[in-house]
Amino acid sequence: MPKANRNRSAGHTWERDIVKLLNHFEFILPETGTARELSQYYDKNKVDIVTKVIQEMEELGLAIQAKTKTTVVSYPKLLNELNDRLETKLKLKSIPVVFHKQTEKVGNRFMPRGKYACLDLYNFLKIFLHMYCYKQGFKLLETYFDSIPDEDKKSVQSKLQKLGL
């Protein structure tokens, strides 16, 4: 197989692997798919992973670009380019993230060396703050859980179990 086809195939496989991984968290990010499948507009603007309900991508705040390479990726350059496209062309306030699968050539095969999610520090802290707020919200919910109508308690308990709380 020519090198260009191998690289393209490896990139598409990595995108599908990310989608499979994110679909394990469908209670947070419903029905994730590759931009090639779901939205040519996002695909042309370097966003590789989207949700089937595009608006949820903005609510969650993630725009993912997938890379599989043997070399180190220029994260600042990719993140800045993706952020510029999000703000100017796509008009989204999503957080740009690069999912990088680093490989190395062993014999005539490419073997995974590591898988990384890269984002700038400010955006990491923003996500961290949201997690903290959710955790505090769940503590507050526990305090007032008995005041929730009985017909709603099962639904709330089910959702909390999915979140591991």
The CATH number of the domain where 69 resides is what? 3.40.1350
CA distance 20 to 33: 9
What's the pTM? 0.76
**pLDDT category, 44, cuts 50, 70, 90?**
confident
* pLDDT above 70: residue 52: no
Domain region containing 146: 121-165
The verdict on 87 and 133 lying in the same domain is no
CA distance 165 to 152: 17
Looking at the 3D structure of the chain, how many domains does it have? 2
CA distance 71 to 39: 29
Tens digits of residue pLDDT in 70-113? 888 899 999 999 988 888 887 777 888 999 999 998 998 888 89
Question: In the β-sheet with 95-106, what is the strand arrangement from edge to edge?
Answer: 32-34, 49-51, 62-69, 95-106, 109-118
pLDDT on residue 58: 55
Helix axes 121-144, 150-162, angle to 10 degrees: 150
CA 130 and chain centroid, separation? 15
Residue 36 Cα distances to 66, 85, 165, angstroms: 12, 17, 35
The verdict on 71 and 101 lying in the same domain is yes
* pLDDT above 60: residue 56: no
The verdict on 144 and 114 lying in the same domain is no
- Please answer whether residues 82 and 46 qualify as being in contact, where contact means their C-beta atoms are separated by less than 8 angstroms: yes
- Please answer whether residues 67 and 99 qualify as being in contact, where contact means their C-beta atoms are separated by less than 8 angstroms: yes
